[in-house]
């Protein structure tokens, strides 16, 4: 795998150098360069297509994305060369060449099996959710005006529009929503730890279970984002309730899939039950706060 991408990186260098200064390569040299680049790209694509589907869809997606990045980088480099005057090595050509190098280099960081791929995917999800939770916590702690850092009263004059502020009722509702967002972070953290500790990719069943976990966990971050967006004023309680219910549903699916998979032995069931209870508790509070809106 690594060697195939290394060859592609070398071909990008050869192509770039050939068109870095006059005179232009001969027609025969151009034909040879084109063939070498084409063969390198075909070899890269073949690596992906030869990767058995049974190795796991999460792993295959990562290899596919890495392959696509290399191919797109080579296309960009070729376009840059075709559209640039051959007087000297242009900045665009240097950047495009470096882009291919970087894309090829990233292959060395690819996970070696589906367990490692799912760990990587979960860690990425956790990072995004952590950021969303911290951003919302910061907004709530800052005071009554979540837009204060964008719209300064001193600069724009007094803003009497209460649509840019949270009411006390809003804050009560948002407290339960924050509980759901924090449960999302805790859920991803625990599932990630479980996959690291107990995840295996030795059998088709184990690989499929890991893929199921990764697929449903990928829905957490967008659901957290949608809930967070609906929490900014003016707050529509029904929209908040809808987004909270969607997030709660996703979290319960994650916990259910985790509980029935090989990454959750009996010793790990405690946190699954605890987080399921936390999700239900916060969702019930959201329902209570929005009951009068129905």
Q: Are residues 104 and 126 in the same domain?
A: no
Is the pLDDT at 155 greater than 80? The verdict is no
Q: At what angle do helices 57-83 and 91-106 cross, to 10 degrees?
A: 160
Helix axes 27-50, 2-18, angle to 10 degrees: 160
Same domain for 48 and 84, yes or no, is yes
How remote is the C-alpha of 109 from its chain's centroid? Answer: 16
* Domain edge (last residue) among 49, 81, 109: 109
Is residue 125 located within the same domain as residue 170? yes
Q: Do 219 and 277 share a domain, yes or no?
A: yes
pLDDT-derived band at 159, boundaries 50, 70, 90:
very low
**Structural domains counted in the chain:** 2
Instruction: Indicate which CATH number applies to the domain containing 265.
Output: 1.20.1410.10
Rounded to 5°, the CA angle 27-31-32 comes to 120
143 with 79, same domain: the answer is no
Residue pLDDT, tens place only, 57-112: 999 999 999 999 999 999 999 999 988 776 667 888 999 999 999 999 998 899 99
Whether residue 51 is found in the same domain as residue 144: no
Residue 157 has pLDDT above 50, yes or no: no
222 CB-contact burial (10 Å; exposed 0-12 / middle 13-18 / buried 19+): middle
Q: Are residues 22 and 118 in the same domain?
A: no
| 26 shares its domain with 130 | no
Residue 26 DSSP symbol: P
Q: Name the residue range of residue 223's domain.
A: 114-293
pTM of the model: 0.85
- The domain boundary, picked from 76, 109, 142, lies at 109
90, 98 Cβ separation under 8 angstroms: no
In this structure, are 89 and 146 located in the same domain? no
């Amino acid at each position: 795998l690594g060697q195939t991408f290394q060859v592609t990186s070398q071909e990008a260098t050869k192509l770039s150098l050939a068109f870095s200064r006059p005179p232009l390569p001969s027609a025969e040299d151009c034909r040879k360069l084109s063939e070498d680049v084409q063969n390198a790209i075909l070899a890269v694509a073949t690596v992906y297509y030869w990767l058995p589907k049974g190795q796991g869809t999460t792993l295959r997606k990562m290899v596919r994305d890495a392959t696509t990045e290399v191919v797109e980088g080579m296309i960009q480099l070729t376009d840059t060369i075709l559209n640039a005057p051959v007087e000297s090595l242009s900045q665009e050509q240097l950047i495009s060449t470096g882009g291919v190098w970087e894309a090829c280099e990233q292959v060395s960081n690819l996970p070696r099996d589906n367990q490692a791929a799912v760990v990587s995917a979960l860690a990425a999800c956790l990072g995004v959710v952590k950021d969303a939770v911290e951003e919302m916590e910061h907004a709530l702690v800052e005071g009554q005006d979540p837009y204060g850092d964008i719209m300064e009263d001193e600069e724009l004059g007094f803003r009497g529009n209460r649509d840019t502020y949270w009411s006390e009722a809003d804050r009560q509702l948002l407290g339960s929503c924050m509980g759901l967002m924090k449960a999302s972070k805790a859920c991803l953290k625990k599932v990630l730890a479980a996959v690291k500790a107990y995840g295996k990719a030795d059998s088709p069943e184990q690989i499929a279970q890991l893929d199921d976990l990764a697929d449903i966990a990928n829905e957490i971050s967008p659901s957290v984002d949608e809930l967070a967006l609906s929490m900014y004023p003016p707050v529509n309680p029904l929209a908040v309730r809808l987004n909270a219910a969607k997030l709660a549903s996703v979290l319960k699916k994650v916990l259910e899939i985790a509980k029935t998979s090989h990454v959750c032995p009996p010793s790990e069931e405690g946190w699954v039950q605890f987080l399921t209870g936390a999700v239900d508790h916060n969702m019930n509070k959201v329902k209570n706060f929005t009951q009068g809106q129905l």
